[in-house]
């Protein structure tokens, strides 16, 4: 347990958000081609994301900050997958929202 807590909470949040984004990726693939193997991949990714979340909340113990940072990181990862892999389009308003989200991560990380 000490080893898990020796890793900075932000790294755990990034890892958790990346697993969540993988779950989102597999969800999109499932929507395009429904198969039981995608369901297994989705569940695995979300479970691993939750397990990576636990050391972060245990270490920081501030749900409002940790939860918000995680939400923004997972949003950024999910948007990146949608745009870069699935060629989804963003308008300038969406881009402004993403920029605001990045600013939120910076401000909350400093708190």
Res. 109: pLDDT tops 80: no
Which pLDDT belongs to residue 31? 95
What's the pLDDT band for 5 if we cut at 50, 70, 90? confident
Measured in residues, the chain has a length of 111
User: Mean pLDDT of all residues in the chain?
Assistant: 90
Which structure tokens are listed for 42?
Answer: 């989705």
Count of CB atoms situated within 10 Å of the CB of 107: 10
Count of CB atoms situated within 10 Å of the CB of 24: 19
Least confident window among 7-11, 32-36, 54-58, 67-71: 67-71
Of 24 and 60, more confident: 24
Tell me the three state secondary structure of residue 25: helix
Contact 60, 66 (CB under 8 A): yes
What is the reported pTM?
Answer: 0.81
Please give the average per-residue pLDDT across 2-28, as a whole number.
91
* Rounded Cα–Cα distance for residues 61 and 58 (Å): 5
């Amino acid at each position: 347990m000490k080893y898990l807590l020796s890793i900075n909470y932000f790294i755990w949040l990034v890892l958790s958000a990346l697993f969540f984004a993988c779950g989102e990726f597999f969800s999109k693939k499932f929507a395009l081609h429904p198969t039981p193997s995608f369901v297994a991949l989705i569940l695995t990714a979300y479970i691993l994301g939750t397990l990576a979340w636990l050391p972060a909340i245990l270490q920081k113990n501030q749900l409002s900050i940790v939860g918000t940072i995680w939400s923004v990181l997972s949003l950024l990862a999910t948007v990146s997958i949608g745009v870069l892999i699935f060629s989804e389009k963003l308008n300038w308003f969406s881009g402004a929202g993403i920029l605001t989200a990045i600013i939120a991560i910076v401000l909350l990380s400093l708190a």
